[in-house]
Amino acid sequence: MDEAILKLLKKHDSSFLSGEEIARRLKVTRTTVWKRIKELEQMGYEIEASTRAGYRLVSSPDLLAPWEVEPLLRTKRLGKPVHYFQTLDSTNARAYQLASKGSREGEVVVAESQEKGRGRLGRQWFSPPFLNLYASVILRPEIPPSQAPLLTLMAAVATAETVEQFSGLRPLIKWPNDILLGNRKIAGLLNEMHSEMDRVHFVILGIGVNLNVDSESFPPEIRHLATSLKRETGEAVSRRVFFSSLLQNLEKWYDSFLKEGRGSVLEAWRDWARIKGKKVRVTSFGEVVTGIAIDIDSDGALILKTKDGRQKRVVAGDVEYTKTK
């Protein structure tokens, strides 16, 4: 997409700009101007054309494109740049590829839809076009792999915070990486890393948030388990504003983690998760453990008290709350 013409129209806000003037400023022919206007209309930009006065931008679609998102970004590193795609197999796979080839910390991949959207443990992530957020952030922290789970907690905290800002409702983090609103999943994280045994090369924070999808659109098998911001609040949210706020919150927590260590991340996570005392059933590497959640430890592992009174530490797995507190 050629952004120059869009920038011109946006700059002139709601006033007309003649085709001749646009052609002169961009050093192209009037036919080229006309073609590009048609392209913009194809993408959802509403442009009024008058043979006398020229062109006027009436409204912009809610795209996650860099030319829409970057003007909103108040971050120093995250989203610099945003790699934008109409569709991808999965944003994580593309980000992993980019990072393998040397992309820097803070680069973000975002797509309007995913053909093979992935959740944890090889599951699918429902990824319809132009309704939700599917983004993957490349980080290159100087930490050992054992500290990487803290980045999952961090991403969950930043996502929960953003969901609260846009819904006015208080989400719940379900260990380790689901965000629930009204007991249904509104966001999920899939974090991957490439590392040596004692040193992380890069981490990909994959974040999927259900924003404007209607509940009837969910596949039947997850309809009772999933929700969206629109479903919970009754109103559509601006995806680009949500996206830029999320990156801002992420950067804030990431900076705090790098500068001050894990303390504040753990504290915030505990606050959002309210996990203490919950009855849980955990499936971890094929084994099922039930018990009462006590806390998470400083590495982000879940500490349970089992029926026989012993403490058990769980580093990985799927959690079910067997009884809501």
Q: Is 287 near a second copy (CB under 8 A)?
A: no
Interaction between residue 190 and a second copy (CB under 8 A): yes
Rounded Cα gap, residues 307 and 291, in angstroms: 6
Minimum distance of a second copy from residue 251's CB (angstroms): 19
- Which CB, 17 or 189, lies closer to a second copy? 189
Q: Near a second copy by CB under 8 A, which window of 18-26, 109-117, 209-217, 313-321? A: 313-321
Q: With binding defined as CB under 8 A, does residue 273 bind a second copy? A: no
* Candidate list 146, 306, 311, 322; residue touching a second copy; CB under 8 A: 146
Q: Which of 176, 188, 208, 291 binds a second copy (CB under 8 A)?
A: 176
Choice from 109, 193, 213, 265 touching a second copy (CB under 8 A): 193
Task: Give the torsion through C-alpha atoms of 140, 144, 150, 156, to 10 deg.
Answer: 30
How far is the C-alpha of 243 from the C-alpha of 209, rounded, in Å?
10
Smallest distance from a second copy to CB 99, Å: 11
Give the binding range for a second copy (CB under 8 A) out of 45-53, 67-75, 162-170, 186-194.
186-194
Query: Between the CA of residue 178 and those of 59, 210, 281, what are the distances in Å?
Result: 35, 12, 15
Closer by beta carbon to a second copy, 96 or else 272: 96
- Considering only residues 44, 71, 81, 144, which one is a binding residue for a second copy as defined by CB under 8 A? 144
Among 148, 172, 211, 293, binds a second copy (CB under 8 A): 148
Binding segment for a second copy (CB under 8 A), chosen from 51-59, 105-113, 125-133, 147-155, is 147-155
Q: Which of 297, 146, 324 is nearest to 314 (CA)?
A: 297
Cβ pair 20, 31 in contact under 8 A: no
Least spacing, CB of residue 219 vs a second copy, in Å: 23
61 binds a second copy (CB under 8 A): no
Residue 262 neighbours by CB under 8 Å, 6+ apart: 147, 150, 298
Binding flag, residue 80, a second copy (CB under 8 A): no
Is the Cβ–Cβ distance between 167 and 232 less than 8 Å? yes
Buried b (16+ CB within 10 A) or exposed e, 218-257: beeeeeeebbbbbbbeeeebebbebbbbbbbbbbbbbebb
Contact flag: residue 179 with a second copy (CB under 8 A):
no
